[in-house]
Amino acid sequence: MEYRIEHDSMGEVKVPADRLWAAQTQRSHENFEIGVGIETMPREIVHAFGILKKAAAIANHGLRPEKMTAEKLEAIGKACDEVIDGTLQEHFPLVVWQTGSGTQSNMNTNEVIANRGNQILGQTLLHPNDDVNMSQSSNDTFPTAMHIAAVLQLEDKLIPAAQTLIDTFRRLEEENKGIVKSGRTHLQDATPITFSQEISGWRSSLERDIELIRLAVGPLYELALGGTAVGTGLNAPKGFAESVASEVAKLTGKPFVTAQNKFHALTSKDELVFAHGAVKALAADMMKIANDVRWLASGPRDGLSEIFIPENEPGSSIMPGKVNPTQCEAVTMVAVQVMGNDVAVGMAASQGNFELNVFMPVCIYNFLQSTRLLSEAILSFNKNCAVGIQANKEKMHHNLHNSLMLVTALNPYIGYENAAKTAKKAYKDNISLKEACVELGFLTAERFDEVFHPEEMV
């Protein structure tokens, strides 16, 4: 491999000749061999850095045109566009497990943009610290990248994924109107419910989750950029914070604004904790829905078997013909991961000592993993399972009329205690509710038929 020599304030460093990063990135690459190639800084953070560096250059040009010249701005802007669209992703090798401020990832971005910009210019004009990092500090850029990435993932990926499944459930509700089945509480038979009512519960849960996520997004619109090292805004010109937030808003189409209190913005991660709590709520509902689906589809002969779900792949290496609810299992595993991530996000946020939180990479790594996995799991579940759900009407009818809890309909006519005696006798003697009620002398056969209508109990 060929190398070139780069230098920083600590001296010279050998860097692979075909890479755009420079000395500080190389030092981090060599000093933190933890999860290399596996747990690299999330691509969503790199994308967000491209946005904020372009916005910073535009703001600096407006406020410091003598320093951020039009020529520098154009080169930085073009390099940032390549960072944003992922063209330069291979030049961001650093792992999550680095400095807790994300300084080295900030410098990785600065170095790549400076070197790529110089390539575009055909001359060495841009300096990573003096130009690309102008008016900034890692301490305000990394939390800014966290908020940008979180908002984009929540609004552009997770919410649309959940909405796709909501649309499927709404269709299934319409298609299954009028189908009455046994309800269940405590995994035991309960009073009747329509299948469409049951599906509506799933749909409404997801709709509420979207409402909660939207509420949580609001505080994430506030950006730390402009606070620089400790929140005082040292080395940033007056008006930079407001200007750069406005530029980020223009580039993303999101209503980003500058944080009112930069001391809070640098050290507290409460907005991410709150937002991840909403993500966890969605994961919890998806766990419940996936479990409902696999319970209802259990069988095909010795389970509930009240619905049919798509058969996507063989389920066993030894049992021929076996098919498993694999999409449900994937969703529930992702839900478990999200719940575990919530602990990591909360613990990381609790470590904001004095003027800076130094657990930011692990905080955003877990946050983005949750949004990414949950979005993809919901879409996979929708495409490969939910859209193909069909009611087993015959089994639903059988289970409904075999349920002892239909006796609840008799309460107004024979009373709670007599209804309980009827249910227990029917179960013990393996006879129908009608037979038990008549044998106990609570109702005549004719009167039973007059008052007992399971389909009207919904």
Query: Which residues are catalytic, by number?
Result: 186, 316
The sign one gets for the Cα dihedral 151, 152, 155, 161 is negative
Distance CA 354, CA 268 (A): 10
b (16+ CB within 10 A) / e for 9-46: eeeebebeeebbbbbbbbbbbeebeeeeeeebbbebbb
With tokens 């990573």, the residue in question is 128
Distances (CA, A) of 146 to 90, 135, 300, 438: 20, 19, 47, 69
Distance CA 98, CA 34 (A): 8
Structure tokens at 393: 């009407």
The residue type of 412 is P
Ramachandran assignment for 86, one of left (phi > 0), alpha (psi -120 to 50 degrees), beta (any other): left
Distance CA 225, CA 159 (A): 26
Structure tokens at 390: 């069909």
